[in-house]
Every structure is written in C-alpha cells, then in structure tokens.
Structure 1
C-alpha cells in the first residue's frame, strides 16, 4: 500500500510539473495580426510562427503556454517584435496601443525594459564602457567587475530590489545580457589576436581572455538553447573552434555522413547532440523562408528523422516539406520595357495605362524581401478583386544580378509585372523616399491612375489586413 501511495504521489508531481502554464492575454485598440513564436521542443524559436493571432478592438485573446522552468516567446507585431520572458504560473497582459506594446502583470516593468530600454542603454552606455575595456589588457575578473558597473546591471538590480521583477527574471536577464557582453568582448580580442602587427605576448593574452570569457558562460550549457541571444554567441564560439581544426578533423566530424547534408552548418557538429536540434531546425526554416539552398534538404531531413524521430521539430519540418513541393504550374507574369526612369514613367507602359499601381521595391540580396514573398500568394489572390490595380515588382538589382533576379521571380512565383530599375529610376526612388540616401527595401508604394504617389509607405504583405485597409480606403475615397 505504501509503495502505491508513493508511486501515486510521484505521478501527481510529474503531471503537475509537466502541466505548468503561463497565461498571456493579448488585446488591441485596432485590427491587427500578431505572430507568436513559442518554443519548439523547449528551445527558443524565432523563425517558425506557432500561432497567428487576429485581434479586433475590444476583443481579448487568451494564450496558455507550456513552460517547464522558463520560456522566451517572440511575438511579431506589425512594426517590429517583442520578446516575452515567461515562468510557470505567470500572468501577463500585452496591449497593442497606438502602434506600441504595453505590458501589465508579472514582470511587466522588466519586459518593458528588455524590449524598449535595453538596446538604448547598450548603445549609449555599454558600448562606451566596452571601448574603455578594449584598451586594457586585464584579467577576466576585472572585466566582469567593470561590466557590473554599467547601468544595465544597475537597472536589473533596482527592479529586483523594488520587487518589480522576480529574482528568477533578473537572474535570467543577467545571463542573457552577459552573453551579449561576452560576444562583443570576444570579437574584440579575436580581432586583436589576428592583427598582423600584434606581438606574440598580445596574441597570448587575447587567447587567454577569449578562453576565460567562454568559460564564464559556456556555450555548451544546455539551458542556453532557451535564450534569444544564444545563436550569435554559439556561432562565434563554433566558428573559432572549427577554424582551429585541420582537414582530417573536419572530415571526422561528419562521422560517415555526406557533407552535403550539413553544408555551411557543418561546424555545429561540434556541439553536444542535444544542442544540435535547435540549429538544424532554424537552418531548415531559413531555407524555405528565404528560398536558399545551403545544404541538401533531403539528406538533412533523413539525418533528423534518424536522430530526432519523435520531436516537434521534425514534425514541423515534414509539414513544411509537404507544403513546399515543387509547383510547376504556370503563373502570370511579364517583363516591362526598361525605359522607365521614374515611378511616374511606369504609366507609359501600355499594360499599365489607366491602372492603379501597387509597387513592391525589392532586391535579390534582401532577406526581408524574400521573407515577405512568403505572403505573395495571399496578396495576389486578394488583388483579383481589383482588376484596376496592377502589381509591379520593381527590383533595384544591378545588371550583374539579372540572372538571379529572373530566377527569384520563378522561385517565388511572383505574379504581375516585373522591371529591373535603371540607374535613373533608382535615383528617383532615392530622392523621393530616402532624402538622397540609401534605399531601404522592401518598400510598398501605391500610385493612382494619374501617377500620383497616394501612399508612399504601405504596410507589408505579412500584415495583409493592414495593407488591404489602407488601399481600400484610398480607392473608396477616389470613388466617392
């Protein structure tokens, strides 16, 4: 009887640990689409949206998230993103108000600090302090003491002391910030070490500092897979480690696998087995997100199935592979004559006369552009309701990128009209929208039938409802 009681208590304890939740309530003062990136297999996930939330004014969306000990959750807003640090039994409200996120509930002030104040503090205080540290050859303890004098740590200490954040929240943030500092310091010491003019003594000290900094927060700590800043930190560590291997050691890493299965990600084989899955998962998502081929997807998928068969990651990747099977059906697209030297000149094209023009300014090298193309099919489908609107994809690629430009049009199945901007067209865009400076893409612009720029900066297709609302509002105004 005693054994049964103990077993039952253990079972109840196990269930209670597994069933812990954090509750996040989302609300907005305007129609908005939010994309939630909750952890996958327990690790931080910033690429794959696990939930899409369509918020309407006065409505609330209650999200219950599984949390074992801690979870960073990334949330994509119409403009930018926020990161939520959650613990079991946390209760938080996120209000999207006048284009900004407002927090209330557990650790609200800490979340505001992390999302909105921390980058400012880093730019103005931390960078100056790190630059001071860079001038000195000192030991790791001295550096850690100097870093603790920076306002970022003071702020976390104050929030914890005043009871505005829990000790657990403050501790996790200190570790997260510590990785950020270590990354910058290690990059500095590595450059110092590789400087052709560096003395043997300088190189030795730089190597010692790099080793000491990595030892202070080991990149192979399994808990770090839950943190948002781990990716950069881990990548730097592995790059330095991999560069130190000879060809025979690099070959041995493959352990009989085909090199094509890992491609540019082969260095991650240096990680312990448990830490590899988050890297492979993110790498796989990026291949489809940006339509790139950094490794053989079929071989990588087989490796994942063999090594991580019952994981959420493999299920998601399988689903994505099925969705992205090659579509050889023809799609409607054509190339415009290249005589347009300004946006208004687009109306000279016979195909675009008496049309409103929705212009997507993009480039083959622009990753955000490629990411937005994931939503192109929904945009094309919506535009079928408005035959008076012509879709024009205006590339700012140079002549030498023409082959890739045409390849990407086919790859992303971009329905509409296509033009690679002339030098004069690029200059026109620069002067009209960027005060003569660099062109930032993607950029979405709406022209009316007279060639007037009626909306110079539309929401992106990833926020399709906001884009629709602005275009339809403009169309209705012209009709009325």
Structure 2
C-alpha cells in the first residue's frame, strides 16, 4: 500500500512567505498545487501555481504575498484550505493512503487550522446539519434566528480555542468572518429556492445578515458576490447594459464603502470567469479594456492579463489532437458511448464541466497524463456535463485549454444514467475519473486525480494487469 507523507514547514517573513516541503512517497517526484491569494483575496484559478517537488530533499517555495488569506492546497488528489498569516510558522504533516488522508499541524494557529479543515471550510455539510430544523420553521424570521444560532455555535468552537490560548486574535477574527461569509451564502440560496425568488420578501434579511456580517471587513467577499449575482439575476437581468459595470457593481450602495480593492477583485474574477466560459453575459474583451483603464494599478491586473492570454490567442482551426464526438441520443449509458466509439480500446474518462474550478486545476497535469496514456495505449475522453445550450462554450473551452483527446457533451439520458449508477441520491459532482477496459467494462469509477500523478499511473497499470 503506497503512502504519501509530506512535511511542510512555513516560516513567514514580512514580505515573503517561504514554504519548505519534504516528500517521502516512494516516487521520485510529486506535484503541489496552490491557489495563492492576492492581497488577501481568494482568487481560485486566477492565481493557481504548480510546483514540482523532489523526494528525499527539502524543496523551498517562495510566495510573494505579505497579507493573510485563504490558501488552497492540492496534492495527490487531496484538496484542503488553510487560513495563513505572514507571521505564522506552520508545519503540516500530511499522510495519504488510498482514499483516506489525515492532516495534522504544528505551530502558530495550528489548532485552529485543524478545526478549520474538519469543518471543511465550511462546506455544505454544515448547512445540511441545520437543514431539517429550518425546513420545519413556518416563517422567515424563525428560519433566520435558527440559522444565526447555528452559525454562532460554529464560531463558538474557535472562541473557546482563543480563550485557552490555542489561536491568536487575528485568526479568530478571520475564521469568524469566513464562517459567516460562507454560511450566509447557503442560507440565502435556500431562501431563494423556498420563496421562489420573491425578492421583496427576502430582501430585508439580506440587510440584517449584512449587519451581522460586518461589511467593513473585506473577507466578506463571497457573500457579497452571491448577493450581487442573485439581485442582478432576479431584478436587473436583461435591463442593465453589459458595459455599465459601475451600475452592475453598485446594485448595493455599501459596495462603495468597502475597500476599493474589493470592486476590482470582483470585476477581475468575473472577467476571467466569463472569458473561460465564452459567456454571452459579458463582452469580456470590452470588460478587460475597461478594467485596464479604470484600475491600471490593481494588484489583480497582472494575474488577469496572464490568465486571459490564451483566450486572446485562440486559433481559428481546431487542433487535430482535439476531437469532438457528435452527441448521440442513442448512447444512453457510459458503456454505450465507449462501446460504440472506442471498440477494443481502454479509455480513461475525465468527467468535468466548463464552470468547474477544481477541474481546471487538474488540467495543469494533463500533459503528463496524456504522455502516460499514449505510452500505455489508453484513449483519453473528456466527458462534459454542461448543458447542451453551452455547446459552443464547451468546444471553445476545450480548445483554449488545449485538452488533447476525445470530447463528448453528455446527453440528458446519459447524465441521469451516470447519476443513478455512480452517485445514488447525491448530487453529481465533478471532477470524477473512470477507467474502462477494451470490452467496455468499467474497471474503476472513482480513480485518483491527475494531480496524484504516479499514484494514478500505478492504479491504471494495476487495473490493466500491467506491472
């Protein structure tokens, strides 16, 4: 059984953060992917950096980020977040074995980060734990009070840690804001569905939650992002000129009381998102021109410019190594598609979507994966779960990202077939990876991610009966 052990030592200087990584996993190399925040703002794939690590030696990685923020780490298919401050010295001990992994930390705010990882930053499971109670509530005020009590109880865990000296005050403030921020999004997504987008009924509670949230703290970015999108889609959609960005971002007056960095963060992220999806909701080229003129000194500008380069330099002709398979309603299952299109050939399948950030992170490892699959005689199939209306976006995204291999936009029948067969009653989530043999038999429906590299390659060889 292969075990991956990483020891990360992170001493933070005033202007530079140094990451020291030692790896022991039986392989010669391993990759570490990090989403590095820009000026404290979480940037998702806008500033995703990949580092090649050598085993048996200490690898030093420097981050030129002097502010605290939410760092996302991806190694061997394991994804986790940490709140890190410049003055922190943090050591991580990560052990990965098959689908199980454990992360322990030592150093400043380490205990807080341990809890933060267990809370899953906090993800939907924290919302589901209170869902049954708010479902029974008969009025909106009751729902709101139950939810606020639940959020306060999550924060209470960290307040106890602060009182006993396990975490510093700055960490308590940051994690409090992140919990309020993320949990607020789940609450109003729920209310939006329950009250059928009745903005007049829900709107007063946006304001109440905003007071509870403390809008002066810029780490409320995700919640405000949700508010803008909901309000825009329910009230302003189709009425606001696409070029009128000030009006779009000024739906709420409080935006202008926030640090100016928030507005250019929001706009830069939206431009990157629309460009990557070829979205018709925004002319991203005009938006980029507007951004460059309005925020020439923005800390996000260099990252946005670099991110957009491949979308400006798109080819008029499709790469011959990128093959689009036309949709076939007769292929109702995954086995139908593989049997018809790849007779007698094993296939590695990447289930993805154009809007999926983690999917894009994994594409950083596609070149190495393609070389391995070609050597082993395995075909590569990218299976998109995007809506059929996004056919043009899907094709353009695959081409822009240079995803060599076969591509297929899933039909509704196949979507429900995959959902019933592999996800039971859970929501279909991506990315997910499958290995199918030359007879069309699914050998494994939950393969390691490409970022795990040698772990994935060894699994493919083992399943195909190769050493």
More off after superposition, 374-383 vs 184-193 = 184-193
1:448 to partner: Cα distance: 2.9
Does residue 212 of structure 2 align to residue 213 of structure 1? no
TM-score (norm 1): 0.71
Return the index of the structure with the highest Cα Rg. Answer: 1
1:159 to partner: Cα distance: 0.8
Matches within 5 A, 1:171-210: 171-180=173-182, 210=206
The residue aligned with 2:85 is 87
Within 2, Cα distance between the matches of 1:165 and 1:96? Answer: 21
Within 2, Cα distance between the matches of 1:149 and 1:423? Answer: 37
**290 and 379 in structure 1: CA distance in 2 versus 1, 3 angstrom threshold:** farther
The residue aligned with 1:281 is 268
Which of 36, 42, 45 is matched with 2:43 structurally? 45
Does residue 350 of structure 2 align to residue 356 of structure 1? no
Matches within 5 A, 1:54-203: 54-65=52-63, 68=66, 70-79=68-77, 81-98=79-96, 99-117=101-119, 119=122, 122-123=126-127, 137=141, 147=149, 150-180=152-182
**448 and 182 in structure 1: CA distance in 2 versus 1, 3 angstrom threshold:** closer
1:99-131 Cα offsets, whole Å, 9 max, x none, are: 333222111110011121364883476657777
Contact between 1:29 and 1:97, CA under 8 Å: does it hold in 2?
no
More off after superposition, 313-322 vs 428-437 = 428-437
Contact between 1:445 and 1:455, CA under 8 Å: does it hold in 2?
yes
The residue aligned with 2:315 is 327
Contact between 1:34 and 1:54, CA under 8 Å: does it hold in 2?
yes
1:473 to partner: Cα distance: 4.7
The residue aligned with 2:226 is 235
Structure 2 unmatched ranges of 5 or more: 1-11
Structure 1 unmatched ranges of 5 or more: 1-16, 252-257
Matched positions, count:
438
Contact between 2:184 and 2:223, CA under 8 Å: does it hold in 1?
no
1:344 to partner: Cα distance: 5.2
Contact between 2:333 and 2:413, CA under 8 Å: does it hold in 1?
yes
1:305 to partner: Cα distance: 1.6
Within 2, Cα distance between the matches of 1:341 and 1:24? Answer: 48
More off after superposition, 37-46 vs 462-471 = 462-471
**359 and 193 in structure 1: CA distance in 2 versus 1, 3 angstrom threshold:** closer
Within 1, Cα distance between the matches of 2:134 and 2:335? Answer: 49
More off after superposition, 299-308 vs 446-455 = 446-455
Aligned CA-pair RMSD: 4.8
Contact between 1:23 and 1:92, CA under 8 Å: does it hold in 2?
no
3-state SS, counterpart of residue 259 of structure 1: coil
3-state SS, counterpart of residue 323 of structure 1: helix
Contact between 1:397 and 1:421, CA under 8 Å: does it hold in 2?
yes
Matches within 5 A, 1:372-383: 376=366, 379-383=369-373
TM-score (norm 2): 0.72
Higher relative contact order (CA 8 A, sep 6+): 2
Contact between 1:23 and 1:65, CA under 8 Å: does it hold in 2?
yes
Query: Which has a greater percent of helix?
Result: 1
3-state SS, counterpart of residue 320 of structure 2: coil
Contact between 2:261 and 2:298, CA under 8 Å: does it hold in 1?
no
Within 1, Cα distance between the matches of 2:332 and 2:190? Answer: 45
The residue aligned with 2:288 is 301
3-state SS, counterpart of residue 349 of structure 2: strand
3-state SS, counterpart of residue 454 of structure 1: strand
Within 1, Cα distance between the matches of 2:373 and 2:237? Answer: 55
1:263-318 Cα offsets, whole Å, 9 max, x none, are: 99555795334421111221233235445453222212222221222333211222
